[in-house]
Structure 1
């Protein structure tokens, strides 16, 4: 899913779509890949805006193909896709986040990927898995996303910290040192509650070896590993190391810049924000892999490119997706957007191969964890959001909060 906005608020029931549509095959003749035709493409957020520029370059090299890109805001993307699927009017090519894939694949709205044209070995495992449903692949990874630790190196020096925390125990020790020795207001910024708090919690959960739903579809939200992770997470609030209140539209980079927050977990786009908005911070911050508990693991995000099952331009759509996801196309897309390439071969040259910061992202992405393919995943994670908030606010113990979430989730898994 796109990381710049939350997704839980987008949840719209698919019941109407499932009953109103009968997707699964084109009702018309298929155009050849190089025949004169127009490809319709929906892309979301910043990607939707940037893709139009790439489409113009593609059209010059492929004069018979007109690529009509429609940018869609993430806040309305889910509703528009559902409505279009119900009406049988999906575009030829769609950007789709992992949380959407199961829903639309399950209703037969997506064309299976040709795994001879697009091969699993060329992509990060987590990116490829997000495009799979029920043993079939429906999405080609376009860009990937994960989380790493951002920290102020200048404040670390003041606090007597000479290297990034390598373990979860060292992370909390560092948070305490930042407060006591460097005078920061907080030690670590993590989300205390509200929508999509789970995305902040994943780094603790996955590193502890926990999950919300297991690979075989069982709810495991209150496993010993999950309880351990939430106890660790909540302890930051108990000790005054993290802020308990939720501020709408909070921008952690502002507090990172003024020094009140010395550490936080963030995505790759934040590097560009810091460089652009706070040039005086250059040389005063760094990124590091998620500190280890049982392991070092973070959430996997990103988007895939999919083809409508009802498209009459599947050959041209596949060719366009190939252009966007091969090594050259991925390197170009990184230069335009700083989105992390999903194609591992794009990391072998240029800045992606030589920049030490990019090595941190690549290492983290290699161990990133994918959310399981559950049609009600948004509803499931909302139960974890609630449990986290109860624990961070001291309303319930981590175990009691997760026991309650477990009971609710058991009725939602499929």
Structure 2
């Protein structure tokens, strides 16, 4: 899966003739030929246990229904722990929702259960997605996954702990990162560098490091290459320079989950970690002064960083292509995209909304993330084998950095499993 060349935000907006006023795209008015009710299942993004996600969708639906009197939308919000499974169960039972906003789309695309993007969206809306997210939303060169919201990663550091440890500047190379971790360790910081390779989201932490080391999950031909020389060198370095010297804290990386690492950062117990936008607000609430810089690479800034997207898609089962398309055009209006991204400290998936957020002083804390997203690389979510490969990485990658273990052997085993899963696609 090759990344398309990203057009500058302003240039793309001008070329496409796009403005913030996309909210009228796809409106059906009263000519839909009779009332249609769409069923939407969406994931809950509220980290506090509140109902902000439900309120967002209810408000959006009310505005959409006012513009499209022949269409109603029923909203069902499910936790991230359950939403993918529940949608899968609905599809298996022959009761697919019309629209699902979940974590993966490839299996449904492979089973020919989804409308493609060009079957649903108006041309201006379809052309407005950021290029790396379009690539990641493709199955066999056709886009089925519509990127709903995105994020990327930066190196977070605790400014006060850096000052106390005498670390004068944020690291820009792996050697500088290890040196800073050593100073933090000498000052008694619990986690000089938190390395969450536990089963919660080890596949993401792994990808960040693979990209920083010049490798990745797949090669230029789109095939898995987990045991490449670059990937092996990366995990050799992690084992020898962070884990074995005791710079990753009291919990072994293979047992440390991202949620626990983020919580420790918010408590002021972590010197550095790879963080995403939603951590900033939580850390600030606890009084942590957060510094953030691009992820270091072997000899300087990493050539690429990891991007992440959640997906929204339209199912064919009920045959409501026109109504689904009108609804999704409305979902991707700048007003709606910016509200959801802003409310959840996430990044817009569209060119025009990204440009608007970059220019907004209120979003200054997100600017570095926005700048990193256009050149980011996403996991190979367009491969139906990715779920199985991701699961294997979550389970086993933590062993690769254990002192005395040869990373090459762990990576080779994972590579064999990945190739077998890919061949079974």
Task: Bin the TM-score by the shorter chain.
Answer: 0.7 to 0.9
After alignment, is 404-413 or 287-296 more displaced?
Answer: 287-296
Q: CA deviation at 1:217?
A: 4.1
Q: CA deviation at 1:368?
A: 1.7
CA distance in 1, matches of 2:314, 2:147: 13
1:401 aligned partner: 410
The correspondence for 2:343, drawn from 330, 333, 336, is 336
1:367 aligned partner: 375
2:273 aligned partner: 264
Q: Does the Cα contact within 8 Å between 2:208 and 2:305 map onto a contact in 1?
A: yes
Deviation per CA, 1:75-109, whole angstroms, max 9, x where unpaired? 23333222322333211111132xx2211100011
1:87 aligns with 2:87: no
What's the C-alpha RMSD, in Å, of the aligned pairs? Answer: 2.5
CA distance in 2, matches of 1:203, 1:165: 16
1:413 aligned partner: 422
1:230 aligned partner: 235
Q: Does the Cα contact within 8 Å between 1:222 and 1:406 map onto a contact in 2?
A: yes
CA distance in 1, matches of 2:335, 2:136: 22
The correspondence for 1:378, drawn from 365, 377, 387, is 387
Deviation per CA, 1:9-57, whole angstroms, max 9, x where unpaired? xxxxxxxxxxxxxxxxxxxxxx965853222111012275342332233
TM-score (norm 2): 0.81
Tell me, what secondary structure is at the counterpart of 1:287? strand
The correspondence for 1:127, drawn from 133, 136, 145, is 133
Change (3 A) 1:234 1:92: same
Question: How many correspondences in the alignment?
Answer: 377
1:46 aligns with 2:50: no
Deviation per CA, 1:244-299, whole angstroms, max 9, x where unpaired? 432578533442244321111122211222234x1x33xx2222221133734332
2:399 aligned partner: 390
TM-score (norm 1): 0.83
Deviation per CA, 1:313-349, whole angstroms, max 9, x where unpaired? 2222111111121222211222333321101211233
Structure 1 unaligned blocks of 5 or more: 1-30
1:9 aligned partner: none
CA distance in 2, matches of 1:33, 1:161: 64
1:358 aligns with 2:402: no
Change (3 A) 1:162 1:311: farther
2:112 aligned partner: 108
2:77 aligned partner: 71
